[in-house]
A and B are shown apart, each in its own frame.
Chain A
Amino acid sequence: MKILVLNSGSSSVKYKFFDAVENVCHAEGQVERIGMGGSLLHHKRLDGDRIRIGVEATDHAQAIETVIATLLSRNHGVIADKTEIDAVGHRVAHGGEKFTRSALVTDEVKDSIRDCIELAPLHNPHNLRGMEACEQLLPGVPQVAVFDTAFHLTMPPHAYIYSVPYILYQRYGIRRYGFHGTSHRYVAAKAAEKLGRSLEEIDIITCHLGNGCSMAAIHKGQSVDTSMGFTPLEGLVMGTRCGDLDPALVLHVMGKENLTVSEATAMLNKHSGLAGISGISSDMREIEEEAAAGQERAVLALDIFTYRIRKYIGAYAAAMGGIDAMVFTGGIGSNSPLVRARSLDGLDFLGISIDTDVNTKCIGCDAEITSEESRVKVFAIQTDEELVIALDTKRIVSSFQ
């Protein structure tokens, strides 16, 4: 079964084309600058063939049409006929309280995704546009929606209700939803596999550290808490997002600096985190380099970043009454031995003892980074959200056939 996985953003469409029997990605790429003029397509095939060309993409339908045409292309393509695309899997940002798992796209499902637009105004409309474009371009081909939020809907109310007037939950759906669900779910299952134990009998903490960063407490295979909340702004320190803070400081600064809501929103989302603290960069690689060179604020940014992770490890270990395993994933989690080591520093009392040698060598690979005698096993595992989307799509489509 061949599956096209799409992640439709405001001005871009990212894609991967999978053979979901062999679990091989045959081609991937993205269309950028949709609707802006000067749209670009980057396309890469499994054998290394790459192209980067200007394309006409005034909207998502045209962008996806270009993607399909590229997959069909004689020189750079991977299929000979459109009918070889058996199904399409879509990444959908927000499924609200409705979707606890991935769903076959129907009119009703689209209506529900539309109902969640207010919760994810920058993402859900574009995700919907991607689905509608596929309906036109690939009529009759089944589509599946895979939600970033779905995995965390197993959280109990004491983890997802905020301590603000309860009516806000009833009126506006103000609660913790959590994100990166596909990634947390995938790496937790991988870790269980590596431990040789069933996911249903263990407690795991997963850390997805990428552009956005979040952690999840996974009790017997179910997410029972996660650090991102109503929006992806809460929790860990991120590249440019602030993570946890005292809400009063936002109001205070808005008054002091006479900021509008949109200015304050941009401040917390784009000018905070590693970039805001260090004043240097939002990129952890640069922060590490500068910190190694002794740049004071880079050192501070790194300290705050890893200290926050350590606090969450403690919190989630307490929430689950101890843990069996931990996973680091995402761009930083997979590639930064320093961040992993610093985050785990002093956690021997929890039964975590790191194998410095293995950890240092593990950059962009999958490995167990704790020592033989470590009671809690910690893994670095590369996430593959698109593969999860492809596999969910395959499972759901097969079950309907």
Chain B
Amino acid sequence: MAIKRIFIAGAGRMGQGIAEAAATAGIEVDMSDIDQSKIDEGMAGIESSLNRSIERWALTAGEKHIILSRIQPMMNIENAADPDFAFEAVPEDLELKKAVFTSFDEHFGDQTVFVTSTSTLSITDLAGVTGRPDRIVGMHFLFPVPRAAIVEVVGALKTSDETLRSAKSLAAQMKKRIIEVHEYPGFITTRVMIPFINEAAYALMEGVAGAGDIDEAIKLGFGFPIGPLELADTIGLDDLMTLMESLFRELGDFKYKPCPMIRRLVRGGRLGKKTGSGFLTYDSGEGGLS
């Protein structure tokens, strides 16, 4: 059964990515945020991502126009038609996410499945604030969402088989390879990636080698397309630190505790590619190690 319409709360990077990927797959998208400027930024972000795709020959101008026409920005959830799926893509904060799900529950019909994009918070906790714990599912997309090949589909304690099936069919429609995981903080991707990045940061801090060499060793040595430090810069060191702290809180294991070097860079405003420098420095935008 083809999914026709989704609603997304949060026009930040994750919301934009899900909106772009879904609209590219022919799905109508209503995207909302708490103020107009955030929505405008969200739409501008999607457009510039599509423009980048045109520059890389992945898309034509006509296709961009069609994709954009499928995305309706809106301030008020009341204006949204009943969607097949309602996504929360707000910051990684349990109370905030709970508030969003509560409002979904008030506004959307019984058939709508709620999706959380969290990778570290408890989906079962979130499901508890709604009257439909069987129709709550986690879908953890990776950045950049339109280009990432996989999505982790997460069932919580009470998620029904039917809900899982429909989430998987949505993922398939978005042409993602589905990795089904059980609810556990960090799932596969975040959990394995975080100690990996953290260890690289410690190696740098303890003076084993320079940032460029650490990344090159891992890239060329093991055939990774990107090194751990550039990966950290791509995620954004502030967002990375939030993920690390959340995992550390949930699991209490020191291997998730942010390396002091990450904290120092964040305090210094060096957040990674988005600010032009993090562990590495970047020319303009993408790539360009120096």
Contacts and interface: CB of A to CB of B under 8 A. Distances in A.
B57 A259 contact: yes
Interface in B14-32: 26, 28
Contact of A271 (B5, B26, B28, B57): B57
A264 B26 CA distance: 22
A37 B60 CA distance: 22
Nearest to A33: B26
B2 A11 contact: no
B255 interface: no
A32 to B, nearest CB: 12
A270 B57 contact: yes
A259 B5 CA distance: 31
Interface residues of A, number: 18
A262 interface: yes
B interface secondary structure, majority: loop
A271 B147 contact: no
B273 to A, nearest CB: 15
Interface in B42-87: 56-60
Contact of B28 (A37, A258, A262, A267): A37
A267 B56 CA distance: 8
B13 interface: no
A36 interface: yes
B56 A262 contact: no
A108 to B, nearest CB: 28
B57 A267 contact: yes
User: For B5, B28, B60, which residue has the most chain A Cβ atoms within 10 angstroms?
Assistant: B60
A58 interface: yes
A58 B5 CA distance: 13
Interface in A241-286: 257-260, 262-264, 266-267, 270-271
Given A11-B26, A271-B60, A260 B2 contact: no
A35 interface: yes
B4 interface: yes
Contacts of A267: 57-58
Given A37-B4, A58-B2, A263 B28 contact: no
A266 B2 contact: no
B4, B5, B56, B147: residue with the most chain A Cβ atoms closer than 10 Å: B56
A35 to B, nearest CB: 5
Given A266-B57, A266-B59, A59 B2 contact: yes
A323 to B, nearest CB: 38
Contacts of B2: 35, 58-59
A258 B2 CA distance: 33
Contacts of A259: 56-57
Contacts of A11: 26
Contacts of A271: 57, 60
Interface string A162-181: 00000000000000000000
A263 B3 CA distance: 25
A263 B4 contact: no
Contacts of B57: 259, 263-264, 266-267, 270-271
Interface in B226-285: none
A59 B26 CA distance: 13
Contacts of A257: 56
Contacts of A258: 287
B60 A35 contact: no
Contacts of B28: 37
Contacts of A36: 4, 26
Nearest to A276: B57
Interface string A12-50: 000000000000000000000001110000000000000
Given A35-B2, A59-B2, A263 B26 contact: no
A267 B60 CA distance: 9
A270 B4 contact: no
A59 B56 CA distance: 32
A51 B58 CA distance: 35
Contacts of B287: 258
A316 B1 CA distance: 48
Interface of B: 2, 4-5, 26, 28, 56-60, 147, 287
14 contacts: A11-B26, A35-B2, A35-B26, A36-B26, A37-B28, A240-B60, A260-B58, A260-B147, A263-B56, A266-B57, A266-B59, A267-B57, A267-B58, A271-B60
Given A240-B60, A270-B57, 6 more contacts: A35-B2, A36-B4, A36-B26, A37-B28, A264-B57, A266-B58
Ranked 6 nearest A-B pairs via Cβ: A267-B57, A263-B58, A271-B57, A35-B2, A266-B58, A36-B26
